[in-house]
Amino acid sequence: MLVIAGLGNPGARYARNRHNIGFMGVEAIAAAHRFGPFRTRFSGLASEGLIGGERVLLLAPQTFMNESGRSVGEALRFHKLDTGALTVLHDELDLAPAKVRVKAGGGNAGHNGLRSISAHVGNDYRRLRLGIGHPGDKAMVHNYVLSDFAKSEMGWVDAVCRAVADAAPLLVEGRDASFQNKVHLALEAAGFGEKASS
């Protein structure tokens, strides 16, 4: 079994925040691959299903971002999995909007959700980095990630979530380069490729 965890903060107040694009990605994967309804488990909302013949647990921790590791740790321990079975979808300030990158291990770049997960389960998991851009000033980061996507941004946000969901079988197979390429081509076709955002 594999665990794909999307990060965000629980509750309607945060639902459209930039910080919650991980939740949005996991919801898109669930819809595209006909997972059952999310149920309360592992201090989060969880749904099990099949992607490309592999059993996958989708998880949206409901612990608030800073405690994401508690939920992810519970799920991994329950299923007796190590960090190699975990992929985490999260917002990434250091990537331009509509950029998507996969990275295994590495630092947490100040992301409190990743820091919590690394503290609970170790660092050797895959990160699916969903670019949201940077406000330009470190002092503005907190308010920026906790503010809603503007209406004008929802086009690329939806396109990113759809592209990630469509390419999820490649992610599950561990074909990270192919996954990135498929997502990139889908975003380019939707008008959100390198040229559109540069």
The model carries a pTM of 0.95
CATH architecture of 2-197: 3-Layer(aba) Sandwich (3.40)
> What angle, rounded to 10 degrees, do the helices at 176-189 and 154-172 form?
150
Confirm if 180 and 101 have CB atoms less than 8 A apart.
Answer: yes
Measured CA to CA, the distance from residue 138 to residue 165 in angstroms comes to: 31
Q: What string of pLDDT tens digits covers the 198 residues of the chain?
A: 999 999 999 999 999 999 999 999 999 999 999 999 999 999 999 999 999 999 999 999 999 999 999 999 999 999 999 999 999 999 999 999 999 999 999 888 789 999 999 999 999 999 999 999 999 999 999 999 999 999 999 999 999 999 999 999 999 999 999 999 999 999 999 999 764 443
Q: What is the pLDDT of residue 195?
A: 46
Enumerate the domain spans of the chain: 2-197
Measured CA to CA, the distance from residue 112 to residue 103 in angstroms comes to: 17
Q: What is the pLDDT of residue 194?
A: 61
**Residues carrying an active site annotation:** 19
Q: What residues are paired with 2 via a beta bridge?
A: 56
CA atoms within 13 A of residue 26's CA, in its CB half-sphere:
30
Measured CA to CA, the distance from residue 164 to residue 31 in angstroms comes to: 12
Residue 130 carries which side chain, given as an amino acid letter? Answer: L
The CB density around residue 150, as the number of other CB atoms within 10 Å, is 10
